[in-house]
Structure 1
């Protein structure tokens, strides 16, 4: 699958989902990574006007899970997130945040990602670790 096909598949998969609700957009794919962006607006703010950590984690899990989905054989398997942890390092009030999911481990059953969330100036906002699992689809 080409990089353009990966991005198009990711965009189509987001219709009527949390990703669409949060305006998460997949913008880049490489051989072993994906990048998505999300606007920072009042829709994803905490009450004091900064990016909500939960929205950041939703962005991170979305890009990591999508990376598992597109880089694994999903004709035979389905992917689920099984553990996520995040450290939030800096606040953001506006603009965009970008999440880059890169494989740390790409196993047949489990996958481990490092997801770096940065602002438009490439400053580190959050660092997230996501574990996904690929489970066999039931044969019909």
Structure 2
């Protein structure tokens, strides 16, 4: 059985900030970026019902309890590790931080999924490294 907690711990430790960040050519502002990572996930229950995926930053290490992601964490609500069916970590993600001056800022971030894949291999965690993302698929 795959240890979802260990997968998330390894990902959180490795992806503590974007590998690269650049301002989009379409913005007229320069609000600082705030996000350190991005992920999406679903549970077996949601796959059976309506295939909803949630998306947010990876949880902080302190939010990864023994049996679940903490309530009120970056993921917003508790998720038991045994219920998680699929986690996707994209190579790139966009962030549009709010700006009080009304300007538009869009950051393009890149995550080091190749480095994460190597770290997961060292931990013996099976995963898929694809062109656009790294995934943990448990079905």
Superposition TM-score, scaled by structure 1 size = 0.28
| Greater strand fraction, Structure 1 or Structure 2 | 1
RCO comparison, higher one (Cα < 8 Å, 6+): 2
Superposition TM-score, scaled by structure 2 size = 0.29
Q: Which has the larger radius of gyration?
A: 2
